[in-house]
């Protein structure tokens, strides 16, 4: 059988030398694999968390609130109870722990395994144990937001987002404020649409070449995505929305 030059050269070596050559080559490969990769920068870590926060719109506000809540280390049971109070959580298809897992994988929160007494399970405690034995030590876990998670959550602070929206298109600011004010009490979509029609809020598209009107759903979606409104058995004003009304001089 014809051999490649490399095979022929290796075959010509004494057995010990051939084995040594193979071992050396494997060692070089292993060293290349084991060499530590460059640590991501802070900006890269924040970008990774940011990407996760925006991966699904229905999760964004839940994740942001969870990051804020976990700036102080929290047991997972406390995190689950807190997340269950979020209006947005009623309308998603994943459990609290699944959503938390996304944040852990993205580097937004650190996970700390806990034993039956609530103490952190350290590497020293699992030294010499089998994988199964080490797993038996873990009864729960705690979470704490990382610096990257905090930075990403700060970017999504509702007051900042809502303020940016209100200032983005001057011609729509009044309509946005009217909707916020109208939703001081929970409102159905139809009630919002009727109110817009009654007030003559038939806004035009920002596309100069389009004659299509702006539908209420578009304005509601903007106010929801920036934290001014939340759907909770009706469109409701949030604390950020109330603050925006107060800043605009619209008090009850």
What is d(CA 238, CA 212) in angstroms, rounded to the nearest whole number? 30
Q: How confident is the model at residue 209 (pLDDT cuts 50, 70, 90)?
A: low
Which of the pair, 190 or 211, is modelled with greater confidence? Answer: 190
Evaluate whether 42-155 and 158-247 have a shared fold. yes
What is d(CA 116, CA 194) in angstroms, rounded to the nearest whole number? 57
Residue extents of the structural domains in the chain: 42-155, 158-247
Report the CATH number of the 42-155 domain. 1.10.10
- Of 199, 193, 204, 191, nearest to 233 by C-alpha is 191
Least confident of 4-8, 21-25, 118-122: 4-8
Q: For domain 158-247, which architecture applies?
A: Orthogonal Bundle (1.10)
Q: How confident is the model at residue 33 (pLDDT cuts 50, 70, 90)?
A: very low
User: Average of pLDDT values for 3-22?
Assistant: 42
Strand intervals (E) in 83-139: 109-114
Helix, strand and coil in the chain, % to nearest 5: 60, 10, 30
């Amino acid at each position: 059988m014809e051999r490649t030059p490399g095979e022929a050269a290796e075959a010509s070596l004494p057995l010990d030398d051939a084995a040594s050559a193979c071992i050396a080559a494997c060692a070089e490969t292993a060293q290349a694999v084991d060499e530590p990769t460059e640590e991501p920068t802070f900006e890269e870590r924040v970008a990774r968390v940011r990407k996760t926060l925006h991966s699904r719109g229905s999760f964004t506000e839940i994740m942001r609130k969870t990051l804020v809540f976990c700036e102080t280390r929290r047991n997972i049971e406390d995190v689950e109870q807190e997340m269950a109070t979020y209006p947005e959580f009623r309308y998603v298809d994943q459990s609290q722990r699944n959503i938390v897992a996304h944040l852990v994988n993205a580097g937004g929160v650190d996970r700390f395994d806990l034993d039956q007494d609530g103490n952190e399970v350290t590497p020293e405690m699992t030294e010499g144990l089998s994988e199964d034995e080490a797993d038996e030590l873990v009864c729960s876990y705690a979470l704490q937001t990382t610096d990257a998670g905090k930075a990403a959550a700060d970017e999504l602070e509702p007051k900042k987002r809502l303020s940016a929206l209100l200032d983005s298109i001057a011609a729509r600011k009044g309509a946005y404020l009217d909707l916020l004010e109208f939703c001081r009490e929970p409102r159905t979509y139809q009630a919002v649409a009727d109110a817009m029609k009654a007030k003559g809020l038939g806004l035009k598209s920002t596309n100069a070449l389009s004659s299509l009107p702006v539908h209420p759903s578009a304005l509601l979606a903007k106010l929801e995505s920036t934290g001014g409104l939340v759907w909770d058995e009706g469109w409701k004003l949030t604390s950020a929305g109330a603050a925006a009304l107060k800043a605009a001089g619209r008090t009850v």
